[in-house]
Amino acid sequence: MIDSRPRLLETAYAQAVALKRRQLWLGISLLVILVLFSGHFAEISFSKLHENIGSFVSYFDRIAHLDNGRPVISDPAEWFWGWKKWLALMGETLLMAYLGTLLGATAAFVLCFLASQNLTQSKGVVFLTRRLLEFSRTVPELVFALIFVVAFSLGPLPGILALAIHSAGALGKLFAEVVENIDMKPVEGVVAAGGNWFHKIRFAVLPQVASNFASYALLRFEINVRGASVLGFVGAGGIGQTLLEVIRKFYYADISALLVMIIATVMIIDAVTERIRHKLIGMDARS
């Protein structure tokens, strides 16, 4: 009689542990089965990797040397022989990212109010806008770029449009989330004073969301700079086309020069926009 209560606890504990163990093992065995299947589908071959891993390591060795066999660092002028052309291409890439972000953010700005439940009464409009935004951000920008290259012909234009549509989808969702989290009291105040829809947005919503919107748009610009640097792979402008060419033609020193240029640009852009974003968020916290 004295022992029965602790034993009850013990058995309950043992059962709970056993249940968790079973779940864990079930999960692990499911994962192992999935991995084996995927390994078959993805043609995993560790022997191939083992045989060729040397060429992966030597690849980085090769791109670190000039054609004459000396390390790239020893002769930066020779390494960056095409810097004028490449800088122009990098500038074009940045400009593409800028235009894509600006156009996308503008579209997202217009659509986000229609996608927020607290500002749009009609459930149908909210639903349709959300599905439209979802579609634009689910289709990868490279797919849009491929299709636009056919429709608009080669060049930066299809790339910009692809970036803009993808950005509109991604930013529209984030913007709508910000708008749905605003304080509704200023909106009610504007409505009570007889303001129309435009007044509501301008005087009640915008002051609450502007810094967040700007911060998200800057983050998107960072992402779009990375995106724009590979859009050239499908002929949609920017530095990607040249990069693809030098990789395919094994101009090793050029590969490293272009990669260094892209990575450095991306890092600088990241650092600058991060500082601006922290300032914007700080502004938000103070007000």
Partner 1 sequence: MSQVTTPLADTTQPGERDQLRQRYASHFKPLYQGNWTAIFIGLVAFALFAFGIYKLDMTFARIWGGLGELGKMVVLMMPPNPGTWAMTKVYLYAMLETLSIALLGTLFAALVAFPLGFLAARNTTINRLVQFMARRSFDTLRGVDILIWALIWINVVGLGPFAGVLALFMADLGIFGKVFSEAIEAADNKPVEGVLSTGGSNVASVRFGILPQLMPVLLSQVLYAFESNTRSASIIGIVGAGGIGLILSEQIRTMDFQPMSFVILLILITVAIIDFLCSKLRYAIIGARAR
Which CB, 259 or 281, lies closer to partner 1?
259
**Total of residues contacting partner 1 (CB under 8 A):** 61
* The only residue of 185, 193, 198, 287 in contact with partner 1, by rule CB under 8 A: 193
226 counts as binding partner 1 under rule CB under 8 A: yes
281 counts as binding partner 1 under rule CB under 8 A: no
266 counts as binding partner 1 under rule CB under 8 A: yes
64 counts as binding partner 1 under rule CB under 8 A: no
* The only residue of 87, 102, 154, 206 in contact with partner 1, by rule CB under 8 A: 102
34 counts as binding partner 1 under rule CB under 8 A: yes
Which of the ranges 10-18, 43-51, 124-132, 173-181 carries the binding residues for partner 1, by CB under 8 A?
Answer: 43-51
Which CB, 77 or 194, lies closer to partner 1?
194
247 counts as binding partner 1 under rule CB under 8 A: yes
Least distance in angstroms from the C-beta of 61 to partner 1? 13
The binding track of 144-183 with respect to partner 1, each residue x by CB under 8 A or -, is --xxx-xxxx-xxxx-x-----------------------
Which CB, 3 or 144, lies closer to partner 1?
144
- Nearest 5°: the CA angle 83, 87, 88 is 120
132 counts as binding partner 1 under rule CB under 8 A: no
What phi, psi does 65 have (nearest 5°)?
-125, 145
Side chain identity at 49, as an amino acid letter?
L
131 counts as binding partner 1 under rule CB under 8 A: no
Question: What string of DSSP letters covers the chain?
Answer: -TTHHHHHHHHHHHHHHHHHHHHHHHHHHHHHHHHHHHHHHTT--HHHHHHHHHHHHHHHHHHTB-TTSSBGGG-HHHHTTTHHHHHHHHHHHHHHHHHHHHHHHHHHHHHHHHT-TTT---HHHHHHHHHHHHHHHHS-HHHHHHHHHHHH-SSHHHHHHHHHHHHHHHHHHHHHHHHHTS-SHHHHHHHHTT--HHHIIIIIIHHHHHHHHHHHHHHHHHHHHHHHHHHGGGT-SSTHHHHHHHHHTT-HHHHHHHHHHHHHHHHHHHHHHHHHHHHHHHHHHH-
Contact set with partner 1 (CB under 8 A) = 31, 34-35, 37-45, 48-49, 52-53, 55-56, 59, 92, 95-96, 98-99, 102, 135, 138-140, 142-143, 146-148, 150-153, 155-158, 160, 193-195, 226, 229-230, 233-234, 237, 243-244, 247-248, 259, 262-263, 266-267
